[in-house]
Amino acid sequence: MAALLSVGLVSCDKYDIPGMIAGSSPSSNERFAQSKAYNDVHGFEHIFVSGDGYTFYASTDSHVCATANGIRRFVSAYMADSKAAPFALFLGDAMDRKNNFHLFLETVKPVSEGGRNLFCTPGNHDLYFGQWTEYIAAMKTGTYLVEVSCVSGETVLCTDLLICLDSASGTLGTEQRDWLESVLSSAQGRYRHIIIFTHTHFFKRDNSQGHTGNFGLEEGYDLSALFSRCGVDMVLSGHDHFYEDTFFKNVRYLTLAAIDDTAPKPCFYTFTVASDSISVREFSL
């Protein structure tokens, strides 16, 4: 029976058991090297919005399989909002099993066709079955910066910094961590708000993800101290599938609920960024 179960799991197209043990995609350091190589050539996005504030949309964990209804409704709501900022965030786990990334890409295509941006970060499911090859080919990079400048006419009123981190392996790895510290050290005093978005969460009160839970204690402590020291305002993550709002060392950590079709209450979120605050609203599908 144990042998049959083992064979069934190895042949399953949802759980990449060999990949969980030995890794079927490049390591954190290897993925960061690929992302950095792309960034060094192409640079980073700079978004401009009118006025001194803006609202952006965010969702996570669509786990696209046979259907993509949750992420499709998120895209529809975002594209129907003419007042929304020209970018939205997706926090990882685009697909649920192998050979479904194309369905996610087709579903979010209206965003780019409408002249807007969907900034994504990879999740652990996006690495299974060696799917990082597909992910990086489509998304180009998994670690990057986005600057958002609020303007009035030709005058720049303020600029915010968004930092995308690749935590799909449950860690940043040493190279990405050192890069992050360099970025944050040089960012102090230059930006109104600093927002980090990634997949793996830092805090949790439930155990929905079992052994693939949040950052390890030592790395979580190190990064939270870095965020606090360098003036990060907010850290957005997914992975846990349940909403959680935690304030720690003057940094707000938000774990967003899943938009997965099979979730008990699929949700997406809007974030309204103002001079002195960042507020969040949840929308149930």
Which tokens hold the place of 85? 């900022």
Distance CA 269, CA 280 (A): 7
Q: Please write the tens of the pLDDT for every residue from 60-116.
A: 999 998 889 999 999 999 999 999 999 999 999 999 878 889 999 999 999 999 999
Residue 270 lies in a domain: yes
Residue 17 lies in a domain: no
CATH of the domain at 249: 3.60.21.10
Residue 237 lies in a domain: yes
Distance CA 28, CA 175 (A): 8
Residue 16 lies in a domain: no
Residue 8 lies in a domain: no
Domain count, the chain: 1
Residue 10 lies in a domain: no
Per the CB < 8 A criterion, the answer to whether 247 and 255 are in contact is no
Q: Which domain holds residue 69?
A: 24-284
Which tokens hold the place of 79? 């594209």
The amino acid occupying position 214 is N
Q: Which residues of 85-100 are buried (b: 16+ CB within 10 A; e: fewer)?
A: bebbbbbbbbbbbbeb
pLDDT at position 7: 39
Phi-psi category of residue 273: left, alpha or beta, with phi > 0 → left and psi -120 to 50 → alpha: beta
Q: Please write the tens of the pLDDT for every residue from 159-207.
A: 999 999 999 999 999 999 999 999 999 999 999 999 999 999 998 765 5
pLDDT range class, residue 244, cuts 50, 70, 90: very high
Q: Please write the tens of the pLDDT for every residue from 133-158.
A: 999 999 999 999 999 999 999 999 99
Distance CA 269, CA 249 (A): 24
Residue 17 has pLDDT above 60, yes or no: no
Per the CB < 8 A criterion, the answer to whether 85 and 47 are in contact is yes
Residue 33 has pLDDT above 90, yes or no: yes
Give the pLDDT mean for 205-223. Answer: 74
Phi, psi of 201 (to 5 degrees): -90, 160
pLDDT at position 208: 54
Q: What is the DSSP string of 170-200?
A: SS-HHHHHHHHHHHHHHHTTT-S-EEEE-SS
Residue 35 lies in a domain: yes
Residue 11 lies in a domain: no
pLDDT at position 9: 44
Beta-bridge partners for 57: 88, 270
Residue 242 has pLDDT above 70, yes or no: yes
Helices assigned H by DSSP within 140-255: 173-187, 217-229
pLDDT at position 62: 96
